[in-house]
Structure 1
Amino acid sequence: MSFDLKTLELFVRVATLGAIGKAGEEFGMSPTNTSQRIKALEAELGVKLLNRTTRAVSLTPDGEVLLENSKRILDELEDMRTVLTKTAESVSGQLRITASASFGRAHIVPFVPEFLSLYPNVSLDLNLTDRVVDIVEQGYDMAFRIGALPPSSLLAQKIYDNPKWLVASPDYLDQAGVPQTPEDLAKHACITMGKVQTWRFMSVDSKQHDVQVGGPLSVNFGDAISEWVLAGMGIAEAALWHAGPDLVAGRLVRVLPDFQIIPQTSIWAVRPPGRLMPERARAFLSFMQANIIATNQTRYGALL
């Protein structure tokens, strides 16, 4: 029988991606096998689901109907599965997670003991690296990523906003002066991430300011930027989760608080394609998101 759960999942991915081969690859199937499976589904239902060309596929009216109902069926099955497997004792197996080193140390590592106490049958393999890991090829359940996500077949869920501000130490501002406009930054030592030399801002009246900045220091590691800013070496862009403790303590202050850095970014959890998420991954994502939100609101709510 062709009308089964895997075939519905496959059909939804084909419809979403508009490509039979790419969808089949996510399921470990060849383009030929994928096409045969979709044709068998069409034969069983007695309708044509896809319009096929050499470059892409599109849905027929019957395909649109099946897509809508398939999504609803899969959602209901996933909800049922969650209800039936929601006890902590039933959540088990090894969980493989990767995240950037700085973010992982700040927002994942501190909460792992509590998570494992809640789910004692789960083991965790946590890879903290600033290299972008291919989570499908290397077998990870999930990755936490910050910023704009490139187009991919990975499934993404927004965890939290990632507000970015300009920061500096009080000592630096005492010596170099306090910028009043983005254009004033051209006269200051600005610590940049890698080769980025243009900072963009939006004023309260929605006017964009593009400023060429420079200084004696640039680096590709956020922790180094934090140390240099604290040492009074200049002004830098910093995310709230990174600079928050120092802002609260007064070791850093915001610069140009009336101008918003653009683009603003978010914190994301991405996972391999496929409809069903392992329950251990679902539990970890829910737990970490709740703690990330609570931590930021509790510690840094006054800054927002």
Structure 2
Amino acid sequence: MLASDCNNRLYIRESFAWRTKMTGFADRLDVFLRVVAGGSFSAAGRDMNMQASSISRQIDMLEGELGVELFYRSTRRLALTSAGETLCHRARQVLGQLEETRSIVAAMANEPQGWLMISAPVCFGQRHVVPLVPVYLERFPKVHLELSLEDRAVNPLEDGIDLAVRIGKLQDSALLVTKLAITESVVCAAPSYLQRHGVPAVPADLVHHACLTTPKPMKAGMWHFGETSSEDRLEVSGRFVCGDMDGLLASAIAGLGIIHLQTWLVAEPLRDGRLVRLFPTILPRPDGSGIYALRPPGALTMKVKGMVDLLKARMIALSE
């Protein structure tokens, strides 16, 4: 057995014993203050629905723990000793702070507060997370939000992230996952391009058109349609390539060619007519990927759930 294991176990035992002792001590402080307020053991017993003898035993235990007498006892009344007066003053402060702490923490379950740390891919975050921020902050006025936009796969456990949006296929992990949407790709082009070059009737016609892709090492020149058979693969090309999704989208809107992108990226220009969807009855091949919200293990807090709900609603609206 490692020394560190022994130390950890010793710490756990000592910590448990300390918490148990302090819990009983706090209870006895409460009894003590009730005796002071009521002026007698019997009055405190009535207040706490306990026998006067039980109250007396609690005070005896408290005096034994502290090594001092807290009351001058007589047949007619109780009076605080100087140690009792000091304890009374301090106990009111301590128990008041404990109750205040309990109230503050309990209120957080009903009214979220603190920081919410979110991570999302750059393009997705700009389009679909940033627009939700004003809505979220208005809904949760005591929450502060930090949004990190980066295309690397962050690890919420290691990076201190409360909620991470990820697009694609997920690897097994200890993270908790909420599926926001199934990713679907569409082929589209600007009306100006289609007016100049004509509308391709079937995917095979794309070999005669300018298709906008990312550089070849990213294998974006191979587009898939329909089922998963190799016959549905189509290699496309064009005179312009760009390694940035926003760059491809802007190029397509400018009429440079035809693009093959996911719906979350092109939904707005399709809706306002800057782009036109091609082959609406032929879906690009599904690859089993999706848009996910990932979070560390633990209870789903209201402030995290609030953002997840907004993201899910936005993804549903995109598909309508």
* TM-score, normalising length: structure 1: 0.63
Q: Secondary structure at the match of 2:177?
A: strand
Report deviation, 1:154. Answer: 2.4
Which residue does 1:186 correspond to in 2? 207
Contact kept in structure 2, 1:200 and 1:208, CA below 8 Å? no
Report deviation, 1:218. Answer: 2.5
Q: Residues 142-171 of structure 1, C-alpha deviation per residue, up to 9 Å, x if partnerless?
A: 111222223333222101233221001122
CA distance 1:229–1:175, change in 2 (3 Å): same
Contact kept in structure 2, 1:192 and 1:218, CA below 8 Å? yes
CA distance 1:191–1:285, change in 2 (3 Å): same
What is the aligned counterpart of 1:100 among 109, 121, 124?
121
Determine whether 1:230 maps to 2:258: no
Contact kept in structure 2, 1:101 and 1:130, CA below 8 Å? yes
Determine whether 1:268 maps to 2:275: no
Determine whether 1:143 maps to 2:167: no
Which residue does 1:280 correspond to in 2? 303
Q: Residues 270-303 of structure 1, C-alpha deviation per residue, up to 9 Å, x if partnerless?
A: 122x23234422232223323442x425xxx2xx
Quote the Cα distance in structure 1 between the aligned partners of 2:191 and 2:300. 47
Number of residue pairs the alignment of both structures matches: 216
Contact kept in structure 2, 1:201 and 1:208, CA below 8 Å? no
Which residue does 1:7 correspond to in 2? none
Q: Residues 170-201 of structure 1, C-alpha deviation per residue, up to 9 Å, x if partnerless?
A: 22122222222222212221112343221110
Determine whether 1:133 maps to 2:154: yes
Q: Residues 25-54 of structure 1, C-alpha deviation per residue, up to 9 Å, x if partnerless?
A: xxxxx9x97xx99xxxxxxxxxxxxxxxxx
Quote the Cα distance in structure 2 between the aligned partners of 1:291 and 1:185. 32
Which residue does 2:274 correspond to in 1? 251
Quote the Cα distance in structure 1 between the aligned partners of 2:141 and 2:134. 10
CA distance 1:263–1:255, change in 2 (3 Å): same
CA distance 1:296–1:96, change in 2 (3 Å): same
The letter of the residue matching 1:172 is: Y
Which residue does 1:16 correspond to in 2? none
1:133-172 matches, within 5 Å, as 133-172=154-193
Quote the Cα distance in structure 2 between the aligned partners of 1:276 and 1:193. 40
Larger % of strand: which?
1
Contact kept in structure 1, 2:109 and 2:301, CA below 8 Å? no
Report deviation, 1:111. Answer: 1.8
Contact kept in structure 1, 2:252 and 2:258, CA below 8 Å? yes
The letter of the residue matching 1:144 is: V
Quote the Cα distance in structure 1 between the aligned partners of 2:269 and 2:314. 20
Which residue does 2:96 correspond to in 1? none
What is the aligned counterpart of 2:233 among 203, 210, 218?
210
Which residue does 1:296 correspond to in 2? 318
Report deviation, 1:84. Answer: 8.9
Report deviation, 1:100. Answer: 1.4
Radius of gyration: which is bigger? 2
Quote the Cα distance in structure 2 between the aligned partners of 1:226 and 1:180. 22
The letter of the residue matching 2:206 is: L
The letter of the residue matching 1:173 is: L
Contact kept in structure 1, 2:121 and 2:150, CA below 8 Å? yes
Which residue does 1:240 correspond to in 2? 263
Contact kept in structure 2, 1:246 and 1:252, CA below 8 Å? yes
Q: Which moved more, 1:122-131 or 1:142-151?
A: 142-151
Q: Secondary structure at the match of 1:94?
A: strand
Contact kept in structure 2, 1:145 and 1:269, CA below 8 Å? yes
Quote the Cα distance in structure 2 between the aligned partners of 1:94 and 1:190. 44
Larger % of helix: which?
2
Quote the Cα distance in structure 2 between the aligned partners of 1:284 and 1:249. 27
Long gaps (5+) in structure 2: 10-105
Percentage identity across paired residues of the two chains: 34
Quote the Cα distance in structure 2 between the aligned partners of 1:102 and 1:218. 18
Q: Residues 8-67 of structure 1, C-alpha deviation per residue, up to 9 Å, x if partnerless?
A: xxxxxxxxxxxxxxxxxxxxxx9x97xx99xxxxxxxxxxxxxxxxxxxxxxxxxxxxxx
